[in-house]
Amino acid sequence: MVQTKIFEEKKIELPEAIIHCRADGIIHIRFKEKTEVDIALQNKLLKIYLEICTDGKRPFIFSALNDVVFTKEARENSIKMEPLYPGYATALVADSVAYRLIANFYLKINKPKTPNKIFKDVPSAVEWLNGFTY
C-alpha cells in the first residue's frame, strides 16, 4: 500500500539513541554503540514516542550499532509496556546473525501482540512496514 500522508521529518538525538521521525510516518530508533537499554531508558524513550505520536499509532523500526545490550529487566519490561507503546507494527533490523538470533528468541518467548518482524537491512524493513495502512 502506498502511503500518501506526509509527516514532519525531524531527529531527536539522545546520548543513547537517535530517534528519526521520517516523512513517510515511520519512527526509526537507532541505538548508539555500547548502549545498555534498561528500564530507565525504556521509560525515557516511551515518553518521547508518546510526544511524537499524538496523531495516533505509527510503524517503528529499531536498529542498533555494535555492542548494544538489553538488560534482563528491560526485556521483561518490554511486554509490560506494550499496551502503552504507540506502534502498530515493529521492524527489528539486525545486521548480524547473533543479533537476529537474540531478536528471534525474544519474539518467540515474549510473543508481542503487535506485528513484529526481523530484517537484515532498513530498506526491507521499510518495504514491510509500508504494507500496513496508517
Task: Please give the distance of CA 124 from its chain centroid, rounded to a whole number.
Answer: 14
Beta partners for 89? 59
State pLDDT tens for residues 77-99. 988 999 999 999 999 998 777 77
Tell me the pLDDT of the chain (134 aa) as tens digits.
445 677 878 999 999 999 999 999 999 999 999 999 999 999 999 999 999 998 889 999 999 878 888 898 998 898 899 999 999 999 999 877 777 777 777 777 778 888 999 999 999 999 999 988 65
Per-residue model confidence (pLDDT) at position 55 = 84
- Residue corresponding to grid cell 517503528: 60
The structural domains of the chain, ordered by start, are 10-129 (3.30.750.24)
The pLDDT value recorded for residue 59 is 95
In degrees to the nearest 10, what's the CA dihedral of 5, 8, 13, 14?
-70
**pLDDT attached to residue 1:** 45
Among 86, 118, 85, smallest CA distance to 101 is for 118
Q: According to the model, what pLDDT value does residue 86 have?
A: 94
Q: What is the pTM of this model?
A: 0.88
Q: Give CA separation, 98 vs 28, 32, 47, 56, in Å.
A: 21, 17, 29, 33
User: What's at 17, amino acid-wise?
Assistant: A
